[in-house]
Structure 1
Amino acid sequence: MLISLITPAYNSARTISDTLLSVNGQTYREVEHIIVDGLSTDGTLEVVERVDEGKGALCPVCRKVVCGKDEGLYDAMNKGIRMAAGEVVGILNSDDFFTAPDVLEKVAEAFEEDETLEAVYGDIHYVYPEDLTKCVRYYSSRVFRCWLMRLGFMPAHPSFYVRRSCYERLGLYKTDYRICADFELLLRYLFVHRIRVRYLPMDFVTMRMGGVSTSGLSACLQIMKEHLRAFRENNIYTNRFILSLRYAYKVLEFVKR
């Protein structure tokens, strides 16, 4: 079974080598990796070329690079998904990397064991850019239930792997969201259409802190605004008070190691 990985990239020269090496180090061998570069000017593509010239990869990755102007992160994701040949598709951002070498192997096993399964998800953790070995926040999807989406919860999006047929049937990311198109898509897939999913109890991805969704008060306000919009567009009732309840839980995700 072919798994397609989509990596949106823009001026990611400082981080994308970790992403690529973690893909190369996967024990699963049927991988298509599509990098969608938004015309980087910092040497991102040169880094990709250097990594591809290196030897010793466990996984013989079929890597494709697409360059061109896009309308942002979610537009880049959609471009990659439209190109994907894999039966299963996942997103791996250019400043993130796989936590373990057997992540894709476990994903493939789950789908191969159950042909009716439409998606899987698991856990992720966050690190500061200056110390990639120390976990500062652990985001577990273990407790996730569909009804919790009314409070603004969702499974860890970087751990979400879904059959390509779901994208074809239920639609792609809405590109006019600035931060929360991933939440809207998961709300649509999991809460509205109730696709068949399974939680895999493992840490999929290591994420660097400092992305647009972890950028302080302004990001929180934008997330609230876009969550309310996502519920409205999918005809699901919620309100600001209900959505604010999740912040008490989020404090517990920050850990000291």
Structure 2
Amino acid sequence: MIRFSIITCTYQAASELPKTLESVLHQRYRHVEHIIIDGASTDGTKDIVERYIQANDDNEDCIHRVVFVSEPDKGLYDAMNKGLEKATGNYVVFLNAGDTFPSTDTLEHIAGCVGEGEAHPGVLYGDTDIVDDTGVFCVVAVYPLHENLLGVRSVTAC
């Protein structure tokens, strides 16, 4: 079974974080670990994450493992690296504060693209829906296969 490590980096984003956490909590795919790296926010982020962890624990259908770290860091990339150090999944997804999955079956769809075989692609990528501050769709950012990846045998676009 494919396991996803979702890394959410946040700092002083208490107003944006709940929609990201809800987006992960409502994913139908069950083999998920959610790693939340907070740069020691003082805006109530810790309380929001603790409520999320409780909601996750109370949800009988959800088996997401949640890891939460709140400590000073040296910025976004330091936080991302801290998340990577804790990740145990087959694939890593960066879904930062304010970001959401487009639907509740996003991870399920990606896992279906990969399949259940022994050989898994080394890189997965896809297009990105760009939305405005109210969540209204604006445009799709299309990412074609990069020429440096063409020599790699196991790249999958979902």
Indicate the TM-score class for this superposition, using the shorter chain for normalisation. Answer: 0.7 to 0.9
Q: For residue 108 of structure 1, report the CA deviation from its aligned partner.
A: 1.9
Residues in 2 aligned to 1:15 and 1:88: alpha-carbon distance in whole angstroms: 24
Higher helix content, 1 or 2: 1
> Which residue in the other structure is 1:146 paired with?
146
What per-residue deviation string (whole Å, max 9, x for no partner) do you get for residues 83-136 of structure 1?
Answer: 11112211111110111111111222233345141121112212221x21x212
Equivalent runs, 1:36-75 vs 2, <5 Å: 36-54=37-55, 56=59, 58-75=61-78
RMSD over aligned Cα, in angstroms? 2.1
Distance 2:60 2:140 in 1: 28
* Mapping 1:124-163, distance limit 5 Å: 124-129=128-133, 131-132=134-135, 134-141=136-143, 144-147=144-147
In the alignment, does 2:93 pair up with 1:90?
A: yes
Distance 1:63 1:50 in 2: 12
8 Å CA contact retained: 2:46, 2:70: no
* Equivalent-residue separation in structure 2 for 1:116 and 1:27 (angstroms): 21
| Higher RCO (C-alpha 8 Å, min separation 6) | 2
Question: Do the aligned partners of 1:26 and 1:58 also contact (CA within 8 Å) in 2?
Answer: no
Q: What code does the residue aligned with 2:107 have?
A: L
Report the alpha carbon displacement of residue 22 of structure 1 after superposing the two structures with TM. Answer: 0.7
Flag structure 2 segments of 5+ consecutive residues without an equivalent.
none
Aligned partner of 2:127 in structure 1 is: 123
**2:35 corresponds to 1:30:** no
Return the index of the structure with the highest Cα Rg: 1
Could you tell me the TM-score, scaled by structure 1's length? 0.55
Deviation at 1:51, TM superposition (A): 2.6
TM-score (norm 2): 0.86
Shift of 1:195: 6.5
What code does the residue aligned with 2:157 have? Y
Percent pairwise identity: 37
Q: Is the 8 A contact 1:125 1:136 kept in 2?
A: yes
The one-letter code matched in structure 2 to 1:92 is L
| One-letter amino acid matched to 1:126 | I
**Cα 1:107–1:57, aligned 2, differ >3 Å: closer, same or farther?**
farther
Q: Secondary structure at the match of 2:126?
A: strand
5+ residue gaps in structure 1?
A: 148-186, 201-257
Indicate conservation of the 8 Å contact 1:119/1:197, yes or no: yes
SS in 2 for 1:59: coil
Alignment partner of 1:80 is 2:83 = yes
Query: C-alpha displacement at 1:58, in angstroms?
Result: 4.7
Q: Mapping of 1:73-222 within 5 angstroms?
A: 73-113=76-116, 115-129=119-133, 131-132=134-135, 134-141=136-143, 144-147=144-147, 190=149, 194=152, 196-200=154-158
User: Where do 4+ consecutive residues of structure 1 move more than 4 Å?
Assistant: 55-58
